A and B are shown apart, each in its own frame.
Chain A
Amino acid sequence: MTAALEKLRKVALRLLQAVPTVFGILVVCFLLTRALPGDPAAYFAGDMADAESIEEVRRTMGLDQSLPMQFVSYLKDLAQGNLGMAISTGQPVTAELANRLPASLELTLGALVLSFLIAVPLGVLAATRPNTWIDHLCRFLVTAGVSLPTFFTGLALMYVFYYLLDWAPAPMGRLDLMFLPPEPITGFLTIDAIIAGDWEVLRAALAQLALPTITLALFTLAPIARMTRAAMLQAIASEFVRTARAAGLSGRRVLVTYAFRNALLPVVTTLGMVFSFVLGANVLVEKVFAWPGIGSFAVEALVVSDYAAVQGFVLSMALLFVALNLLIDVIYTLIDPRVGEEA
């Protein structure tokens, strides 16, 4: 079997493995919608409802049927993209989530890219120069970074850069009210501004994006740097690096081509945990910076006990998490030089 075919087979297999995971997520989300405190029918009928109208709501919501039947109709609704109505805004939950998703993705992906750009070189430098100042810096950042509550870092940064130094704009959403948002094409303000060629708006959007991104990046930096350092140390101590050295290759070549490329693989696999952290921390950061993403939507919904909105949020975050993990695994299969070689 050729290497390309082997890789394709592995990717297909990995996609299949996601099916039970998604099913598990759907079951948990369904159970969460049924676990409302008290009687859901009475809750949705409102405070003023009498016994008859509660029965009416129970029938229309299908709550009088058996649990498996209710699960089937839940799946049917989901297949049509129907997550119910958000009480707080009066809009369908699906539409609300779709509108707000780009804002969250822009923040999350920006933070991931930023923390990668800092953490990977930091981890590599710390591993190649053990017990120097950079190693100590890395160790300090790793321990301090995981201890930092994101909402606290966000507020501290806001105090320093907005109140004291006045470098950052007011922490109010994605774009200062003075600017008109660009034509929405991707939904990412920065990319839309580039497409529209509107450099003023790009600058303003980046200024709003800076603090929340840094806050989130500080949080994800620690696990990535820790993993990179550990993986790099292991790769440097391995036999193939010793062989490469003994063969007289230059130090740089040994580090980059042999050690670093192999060290990246374990880093990529442990990214799942980082995604879990970043999607959770995202909610807190959005609340701190009044960022109009799905996290702050969920927080607002929580305050007014808008269950449909919260369940829709949990479901979409879980599906996003599965998708990100799948993407990483597929990339891993594609870049791993060992896959398909032994076949």
Chain B
Amino acid sequence: MTSLTTTVSNTEIAPRSSLWRHLRHVVSENPVTGVAFLLFAMFVVLAVFGPYLVPFDPLQTDTGPALQSPSAAHWFGTDHLGRDVFSRVVVATRLDLLISVSAVAISFVLGSVMGCFAGYFGGWTDRITGRLVDTIMAFPLFVLAMGIVAAAGNTVENIVYATAIINLPFYARMARAEVSIRRNAGYVQAARLAGNSELRVLFGHIFPNTLPPMMVQISLNMGWAILNAAGLSFIGLGVQPPAPEWGIMVAEGANFIISGEWWLVIFPGLALMLAVFTFNLIGDGLRDLVDPQRRT
């Protein structure tokens, strides 16, 4: 236990320049991580500037013949209403990322506060947090999300809340574990002796040091949140047509796959897959950066 805490604090006080060297080293050793960061940058650009870059209005019908296969004018073809699939796939990036980023942000904030209290103070905070987390985890998570959205109402905000609730346990558990191994580390005792209040020690000294492993969790979780949100809209919850969103586009295209119009499903599906893949790769890369021992 003591050796664990000392190694943790050693890496934590390492100067910033060595972190950059380490980052460069990790990227050069595993170029896949570099590719993942480039893809991530691309998704961010598409989410921010997407609507200004696309050749057609994603909602405009009859931009060309309906159900036309990919061509020079319509790179990803057109759908049954003659809308341009390429424009819709690109514009959908913003909504998909917005849903998953807000969901992950909510569960990160709530989950880490709960986990920090549980790990630092123990006692009744720990028991209540543990009971809540166990109850959420007692459900198949996607099914629980379906139930929450069905009960709370079929809106995009409720998709965000449902996704946040089913992700909460991961953050709460992780924060609890990371805080409780640092609770009595040397720098924490020093901060306490220097007269800091308990809350200040917890959120000013311990919590920032739990951030690197939490970042890994966030990245891996983002992919999962995107999958969940897209799955919910695929079954008709949350985002309503004609809004462009990957899950709903796949659902709309599903009716045409048995008659061979593959582009309606494949392109939004591939975009979804690529986004999830990117976040998973970044998560693995960040894990190498933060904790080389946990590499698989």
Contacts and interface: CB of A to CB of B under 8 A. Distances in A.
Contacts of B227: 147, 149
Contact of A279 (B134, B140, B151, B153): B140
Contact of A28 (B135, B234, B235, B296): B135
A163 B134 contact: no
Interface string B254-266: 1001111010011
Taking each of B139, B154, B236, which has the highest tally of chain A beta carbons within 10 Å of its own beta carbon? B139
Interface in B213-250: 223, 227, 230-231, 234-237, 247, 250
A45 B262 CA distance: 44
B172 interface: no
Given A152-B265, A303-B236, A314 B139 contact: yes
A306 B138 CA distance: 24
B147 interface: yes
B148 interface: yes
B236 A156 contact: no
Interface string B60-71: 000000000000
B143 A37 contact: no
B281 A311 contact: no
A35 interface: yes
A152 B137 CA distance: 26
B269 A155 contact: yes
A321 B138 contact: yes
Nearest to A325: B138
A229 B296 contact: yes
Interface in A8-43: 20-21, 24-25, 27-29, 32-33, 35-37
B151 A149 contact: no
Given A21-B134, A28-B135, A288-B254, A35 B152 contact: yes
Contact of B234 (A151, A277, A318): A151
Given A279-B140, A307-B151, A317-B139, A302 B234 contact: no
Nearest to A296: B235
Nearest to A35: B151
Interface in B153-181: 153-154
Contacts, number: 159
A322 interface: yes
A221 interface: no
B284 A143 contact: yes
A207 interface: no
B84 to A, nearest CB: 20
A4 interface: no
A290 to B, nearest CB: 10
A45 B235 CA distance: 27
Interface stretch (B18-26, B47-55, B103-111, B270-278): B270-278
Contacts of A159: 257, 260, 262, 265-266
Given A230-B296, A279-B143, A283-B235, A146 B280 contact: yes
Interface in A143-198: 143-144, 146-152, 155-156, 158-159, 162-163, 170-171
A21 B269 CA distance: 36
A83 interface: no
B142 A148 contact: no
A147 B142 contact: no
B81 interface: no
Nearest to A278: B140
B141 interface: yes
Given A152-B265, A318-B139, A163 B257 contact: yes
Contacts of A281: 142
A271 B114 CA distance: 26
B236 A317 contact: no
A128 interface: no
A94 interface: no
Contact of B223 (A24, A146, A229, A313): A146
Interface string B115-148: 0000000000000000100110111111110111
B81 to A, nearest CB: 20
Contacts of A262: none
Contacts of B134: 21, 24
A201 interface: no
Nearest to B138: A21
B231 A151 contact: yes
B238 to A, nearest CB: 11
Contacts of B250: 149, 151-152, 155
B41 interface: no
Contacts of A27: 135
A287 interface: yes
Contacts of A148: 273
A318 B166 CA distance: 14
Contacts of B262: 159, 163
B45 interface: no
A275 interface: yes
B148 A32 contact: yes
Interface of B: 131, 134-135, 137-144, 146-148, 150-154, 223, 227, 230-231, 234-237, 247, 250-251, 253-254, 257-260, 262, 265-266, 269, 272-273, 276-277, 280-281, 284, 296
Given A35-B152, A163-B260, A280-B141, 16 more contacts: A25-B139, A28-B139, A147-B227, A150-B231, A151-B231, A158-B257, A159-B265, A159-B266, A163-B258, A280-B140, A284-B231, A299-B236, A302-B154, A303-B236, A311-B147, A313-B147
Pairs of residues from A and B, 8 with the lowest C-beta to C-beta distance, nearest first = A280-B142, A152-B269, A24-B135, A314-B147, A279-B140, A37-B153, A147-B277, A147-B276
